[in-house]
Amino acid sequence: MASIICKRIWIPRRSWGRALTTPASTRLQSNQATSSSIDLSPPVQEPTTPRRAKIQSAKPFSAFLTDTFNRQHDYLRISVTERCNLRCLYCMPEEGVELSPPARLLTSPEIVYLSSLFVSQGVTKIRLTGGEPTVRKDIVSLMRDIGKLQRHGLRELCLTTNGISLHRKLDPMVEAGLTGVNLSLDTLDPFQFQIMTRRKGFEAVMKSIDRILELNEAGAGIKLKINCVVMRGMNDHEILPFVELGRDKPIEVRFIEYMPFGGNKWNQKKMFSYQEMLAMIQEKYPTLEKVTGHKNDTSKTYQIPGFKGRVGFITSMTHNFCGSCNRLRITGDGNLKVCLFGNAEVSLRDIIRKENDGQPIDEDAMNSLRLMETVHDAASIQNDRERELLDLIGMAVKHKKAKHAGMGQLENMKNRPMILIGG
């Protein structure tokens, strides 16, 4: 039965790339020849190649998603829940967090609507986060609805997860359009896992990793990255064992510098820097070499010759990558954050619900308000609702700063706990 599922996944996966429309971020425009004379001869029909079709249909990137530093934001992260089945030290305060009332959280129709709006403006990658997105009861059907945006320009639909429940929902998620998984795992020791997450579940996480690798062997093409937050005196001694994961398996392990967020008892002495991590790995693996990445990559990527996997470093604290940031975030309660470390937010939820007397929008309300009909014409801004939303989004993006405040100031800035922002 598993081989049948994998085969169904693989065939459309290969055809999606050809079926996608040209991303709005392409800035080429076709030039039309001009002439003072009129040629009455029949026009020569040039063959239409895929490349020529892309050039002809290209358009400038949305001004609403372009900031004053000319950064084009084509990557959207959406938190679909504030709940989580773990209590990680760096993410959630020990006493927990006060969850928003359900009526304040975005409904599935609202999430799909906002996804559609951002895709209409040039977003090509959407990542669903939390909390833990797999605890949302309708996560698969939600992904299926967002996955349909691949016909409108969406290229990647990704998930950030702790992996506890992923193995039970992974197959239908891939069929729904899942293309990438960032899986949070900070230790390879089951006992240490309970200390760092305050919960059990290590075996379930490893089962999810194995299932992803199994599907990829069948051709599913899921980009798998394991995110490890390194804390001095806690798990820094496991850096080399994590690197070894990539010896025989095509896994990219990304080491993340410990960062300050509300309630995580930030202490700079716990921060294990990128330079220290790199030196430790190079001492054991002197042939470690830098891999050329994409301009918007958040990680500095390396590879050891002969290893199937790769190693990355997310250096938010010691060497920020703000200059090439292309990411925006929507929190579970519908606020737009233009910077992970910024405390400025604007509510998109309130504008969407304005025509529904401020009430959450369900399927019936979505149909009566014609949300999905108007959103696909959002580029022309003919509807007051989309005009107001895009104006607000554009204003927030234009106020995005050149870079975040830096390590010395971030610890003193008021910000949400990480779990309420979205990983």
Q: Which two tokens stand for residue 131?
A: 């909390």
What is d(CA 77, CA 84) in angstroms, rounded to the nearest whole number?
17
What is d(CA 326, CA 294) in angstroms, rounded to the nearest whole number?
12
Q: Which amino acid is at 115?
A: S
* 321 in Cβ contact with 262 (< 8 Å): no
* 172 in Cβ contact with 182 (< 8 Å): no
What is d(CA 146, CA 78) in angstroms, rounded to the nearest whole number?
11
State how far the alpha carbon of 377 is from the alpha carbons of 150, 341, 373, 395, in Å.
Answer: 16, 33, 8, 20
DSSP annotation string for 254-292 = EEEE----TTS---GGGB--HHHHHHHHHHH-TT-EE--
DSSP annotation string for 60-97 = PPPGGGB-TT--B--EEEEE--S--S---TTTS-TT--
What is d(CA 118, CA 339) in angstroms, rounded to the nearest whole number?
17
User: Among candidates 213, 246, 235, 225, which has minimal Cα distance to 183?
Assistant: 225
Residue 343: the pLDDT is 72
Q: Which residues of 20-30 are buried (b: 16+ CB within 10 A; e: fewer)?
A: bebbbbeeeee
Residue 316: the pLDDT is 78
Domain spans of the chain? Answer: 65-328+401-421
Residue 259: the pLDDT is 76
The CA R_g of the chain, rounded to the nearest whole Å, is 23
Homologous superfamily of 65-328+401-421: Aldolase class I (3.20.20.70)
Q: Which amino acid is at 371?
A: L
- Which residues fall within 8 angstroms of residue 342, CB to CB, at 6 or more apart? 400, 401, 404, 415
Per residue of the chain (423 residues), what is the pLDDT tens digit? 444 343 444 434 433 333 333 343 333 333 333 333 333 344 444 455 666 555 445 568 999 999 999 999 999 999 999 998 888 777 777 777 788 999 999 999 999 999 999 999 999 999 999 989 999 999 999 999 999 999 999 999 999 999 999 999 999 999 999 999 999 999 999 999 999 998 999 999 999 999 999 999 999 999 999 999 999 999 999 999 999 999 999 999 999 998 765 555 667 788 899 999 999 999 999 999 999 888 777 789 999 999 999 999 998 788 766 888 999 999 999 999 998 767 789 999 999 999 999 999 999 999 999 999 888 766 566 688 899 999 999 999 999 998 854 444 545 455 556 566 666
93 burial via Cβ count (<10 Å: 0-12, 13-18, 19+): middle
Q: Strands, DSSP E only, in 326-409?
A: 327-330, 335-337, 346-347
Residue 420: the pLDDT is 67
pTM score of the predicted model: 0.82
